[in-house]
Amino acid sequence: MRTALYQLDAFAGSLFRGNPAAVMPMGRFPDDATLQSLAAENNLAETAFLVPQGSDYRLRWFTPTTEVALCGHATLASATVVMERLEPDRKSVTFHSASGPLAVVRESTAYVMDFPVRTSAPVDTPAELVAALGLTPLEVFADAGNYLVRLESPRAVRALTPDFAALARLDRWGVIVTATGKGHGDGGSRDDDCYDFVSRYFAPAKGIPEDPVTGSAHCALAHYWAPRLDKTDFLAHQASKRGGDVTCRLRGDRVQLEGRCVFYLEGQVEF
């Protein structure tokens, strides 16, 4: 079987920024073991596999170790591949996924994705989480998959050096850490004043020690920050080493995520 392979930097305006994703368009999905092997071979945080479904596409995402139910940056990369390589006259596309239909619209310089909101609730701070992070958060929220941890400042978010092995043993897949920007904290970087909030995301249990820019995490972050900042539109920054900006708009039970992609690699895979 032969298929195209694209690698893009998502949520980035230039190469070597944002979050790399592989996109593999196919006529049909091979068996799950093959999809997992391809994702492991690509060795990126996410590989997106898409096949035609009527005038739309079916989309699945795999980390190097497991399939996931939602991935923002690989969806953004998939939309870019569809509308800039496969069907360049298209202005929108809908992907059918484990998280339902995901619509993406092409704007003049970016793409806008429509995702389901992720709600979380306050929980008592687990001692294991404190040990893994090496600090005590201001507060902790949780949903079925992630802890959402608020720290005192962007500087604390950037300086965090968690114990990845301990994070992988938690009872959640991943941990989002966040703090306000725009002068609400002590900065950490003068650029943080440009953002409503900053974050990082760790998911060693899914084979991703730290994800560079995480669209799905912002579906939770937009919901978390809306009542605290008294607004629904945000400019956010994920403060990984590569870094990336995400425009978020909370619209009821949906979140619009806006970003750009840059092509890095285009080729063919035979397996």
Q: What is the DSSP string of 218-256?
A: HHHHHHHHHHHHT-SEEEEEE-SSS-EEEEEEEETTEEE
pLDDT in tens, 132-152: 999 999 999 999 999 999 999
Task: Give SS3 for 61.
Answer: strand
Q: Count of CB atoms within 10 A of residue 121's CB? A: 8
To the query of whether residue 139 is one of the catalytic residues in this protein, the response is no
CB 56 within 8 A of CB 94: yes
User: Which residues in the chain come in under a pLDDT of 70?
Assistant: 183-191
Tell which residue, 147, 253, 118, 250, has the closest CA to residue 196.
250
Q: What is the pLDDT of residue 186?
A: 46
- CA distances to 135, 143, 152, 220, 250 from 187, rounded to whole Å, are 18, 28, 10, 23, 25
CB 120 within 8 A of CB 220: yes
Q: Count of CB atoms within 10 A of residue 264's CB? A: 15
Q: What residue ranges define each of the domains in the chain, with the CATH number in brackets? A: 2-111+258-270 (3.10.310.10), 121-252 (3.10.310.10)
Cα–Cα distance, 30 to 34 (Å, whole number): 6
Catalytic residue among 41, 46, 67, 258: 46
**For 90, which DSSP code?**
-
Alpha-helix residue ranges (DSSP H) falling in 23-117: 32-42, 72-81
Q: What is the pLDDT of residue 208?
A: 95
Q: What is the pLDDT of residue 159?
A: 97
Decide: residue 77, CB within 10 A, 0-12 exposed, 13-18 middle, 19+ buried: buried
Q: Count CA within 13 A, CB hemisphere, residue 50.
A: 32
Structure tokens at 122: 């306050």
Tell which residue, 230, 217, 210, has the closest CA to residue 257.
217
CB 62 within 8 A of CB 246: no
Q: What is the pLDDT of residue 109?
A: 86
Tell which residue, 152, 235, 168, has the closest CA to residue 202.
168
CB 206 within 8 A of CB 68: yes
pTM: 0.93
Q: What is the pLDDT of residue 43?
A: 97
Task: Give SS3 for 151.
Answer: coil
